[in-house]
Amino acid sequence: MRHDGRQTDELRPIEVKRNFTGVAPGSVYIRAGRTTVLCTASVDDDVPPWKRHDENPTGWVTAEYSMLPGSTAPRKRRERNKVDSRSTEIQRLIGRSLRAVIDFKALGARTITIDCDVLEADGGTRTLSITGGFIALCDAVAAIRASEGFEDNGPILKDSIAAVSVGVVDGTPVLDLDYVEDSTAEVDMNVVMTGASEFVELQGTAEGRTFGRDLLDEQLRLAELGISNLRAIQQETLGDAWPF
């Protein structure tokens, strides 16, 4: 039994509110335990400069990530002029993950930007941003398809995407670490997978001890189970708007 009463293979309680704000076509409030993120998806009818030179430019998906000053203690300094290295690494991860399930040709010459703003941090902010960001992405894609003059070149979304943390705490593999567990874990890993159970990214580190293949396999088993449950939550949240 873990410090919060969960079993080793149990996610924190998940709360999702879709259409949380009224401006962006995709807007999702997502909470896992105490970790809370607002994910919005905005659409721009333009592409990055390096794509504009193509004869038939395809679309792009990018992400930005930040922790609000009051999301953690002590207060985090607001990132005004320069994004810190941790935020840069995380937003690149979110962007790579979401791009893995996009058909850029079908998207057309548009850019979707996923903004992930952490309201409260208690472990797993990057993985929750990917999971919630995908729901916001689905709503943005639906808005594009419903827009006037949209040229249908097939499905824009190829699969779903979700992410979760796993690790080894006191010698035991566990799923979905909160800060208490993450801060003392012997192994810490973030796993990003598609709905077809294919890996997009693995980020794993031995913090206090090395680990063998048996512990790695058990962590990946837990991650696959957790991501399957997260996909079910994504599907339930989107309802009739689920694109698959």
Domains of the chain from N-terminus onward: 14-241 (3.30.230.70)
Residue 53 in tokens: 């030179």
pLDDT tens-digit profile, the chain (244 residues): 899 999 999 999 999 999 999 999 999 999 999 999 999 999 999 999 888 877 778 999 999 999 888 898 889 888 777 778 999 999 999 999 999 999 999 999 999 999 999 999 999 999 999 999 999 999 999 999 999 889 899 999 999 999 999 999 999 999 999 999 999 999 999 999 999 999 999 999 998 788 999 999 999 999 999 999 999 999 999 999 999 9
Sheet holding 26-32, edge to edge: 14-18, 26-32, 35-44, 111-120, 60-67
Report the distance separating Cα 78 and Cα 151, nearest Å: 41
- Asked if 191 and 213 count as a contact pair (C-beta separation under 8 A), the reply is no
The separation between the first and the last C-alpha atoms of the chain, rounded to the nearest angstrom, is 37
Report the distance separating Cα 17 and Cα 108, nearest Å: 29
CA 49 to chain centroid? 26
The partner residues of 199 in beta bridges, in order of sequence, read 193
Report the distance separating Cα 126 and Cα 164, nearest Å: 9
